[in-house]
Amino acid sequence: MNKVSQTSPADLIASPLYQVNLVLWMATKNNGGRVRPVFANAGYEVLFIERALNLPPELKQTLVQAGVTFVDPASPDFILAGAKKSYVILECKKTMFGADSSTAAQSRSLLLQVPRIFELALVKKAGSVTNVSLIYLSRQDSKHDLLDGINALAEHLKKAKFKTITAGALSLHVSGKAIRLRQSGNVPQPLAHEVGIDALEVQEVADDSDPRPLYLIPWLPDTESENDEYNKRAFAERVKLSAAQVIDSARAGTDVEILLSDVLGLLTLGYDKNLSNAAYRRLKQESKGILEKRFRSVKDVTILSLPDGAGWALTLKDDAAKESILNGLRAYEPPDPQVQLF
């Protein structure tokens, strides 16, 4: 059991994958005490992950006429639902961005999600949403205000007569033996109250171990790349686990097909269906690479590749064959350097 090379807490908090998983733990009440359930305590629950928010055609047309760039649809990392028909759109960022950055177009689309636009995007009846806020979660930057870029985008949109929602930031920093959360800008009230005016401790940091919690989501598309060994390792373990579940569920004495589409469904807990073709292809390629290597190590069971790279087929002669494959799957080897999923 090799220890993954440790990422310093200061680097860890900039990892979007860490942030995404931290949000999930923060939104889970009674979560076992590893992470302070800040969102759950403030009454928020995760409603959607990676939900596409389409803009109405008439708004898009007006934006085009005004020369404003945007993306359609924008898929924020999270949509949280709170009390009194209020919602939070939450994005995790490695670093915040300036008004001229490549992510500005997506931010504009999110800033435009006033209640009526948001209702239409979620197919909700008029009046079912009273408030929508945009929150960015990122690592604290002592040199720049995290919201400079987003505020400039909002001002520009307002000048062009577009209605926008309020934006705020939750910034992570390491202080003492804790990872802490600080708020700035417009954070909606129940959450602002929960976070408070001082930096709120969300996770303890022990001297000798990596503080990250279990990763419920091992990978998300469009997150910025990062060289983090745990991310690669956890991803590989989840890929192998998903394949192992397919194999262990099969009866001895039967033919088994391990379809990559099934593996990806288990791996992503279902969000594979919403990935872009390019993202799905990358995910499939990486997963295939991990499993192919492991299956190659199984010597006493013939494992055949299915046409078109759809997966593998094998005959599970008896329980011993099942054990042999699961033993082969269990080992971990680092991914090829040319694979750039993370």
Nearer to other proteins, 191 or 244 (CB): 244
Instruction: Report the Cα 285 to chain-centroid distance in Å.
Output: 19
Beta carbon of residue 310, minimum distance to other proteins (angstroms, whole number): 21
Please compute, for residue 174, the number of CA atoms within 13 A of its CA located in the half-sphere on the CB side.
15
Q: How far is the CB of 238 from other proteins (least distance, A)?
A: 5
- For CA atoms 210, 213, 214, 215, give the dihedral sign: negative
The token pair that represents 152 in the structure block: 């400039």
In the bound complex, what is the minimum distance in angstroms from residue 189's beta carbon to other proteins? 23
Taking the complex as a whole, how short is the minimal distance between the CB of residue 67 and other proteins, in angstroms? 30
Type of residue numbered 309: G
Question: In whole angstroms, how close is the CB of 156 to other proteins at the nearest point?
Answer: 29
Report helix, strand or coil for 339. Answer: coil
Q: Which is nearer to other proteins, 34 or 156 (CB)?
A: 34
For other proteins, which is the closer residue by CB, 148 or 210? 210
Sign of torsion, CA 135 137 138 139? positive
Q: Identify which of residues 265 and 289 has a Cβ nearer to other proteins in the complex.
A: 265
- Using the minimum distance from each CB to other proteins, give the nearer residue, 155 or 323: 323
Q: Which residue ranges make up the site for other proteins (CB under 8 A)?
A: 1-4, 6, 24, 27-34, 45-52, 206, 208-210, 212-216, 230, 233-234, 237-238, 240-242, 244-245, 248-249, 251-252, 266, 268-271, 273-274, 319, 322, 326, 330-332
Sign of CA dihedral 203, 206, 211, 213: negative
- Scanning 92-226, the segments in alpha helix (DSSP H) are 104-111, 115-121, 148-159, 189-195
- From the CB of 183, what's the least distance to other proteins, in Å? 23
Nearer to other proteins (CB atom), residue 114 or residue 122 = 122
Which residues is 257 bridged to in the sheet? Answer: 313
Task: Mark out the alpha helices in 160-202 (DSSP H runs).
Answer: 189-195
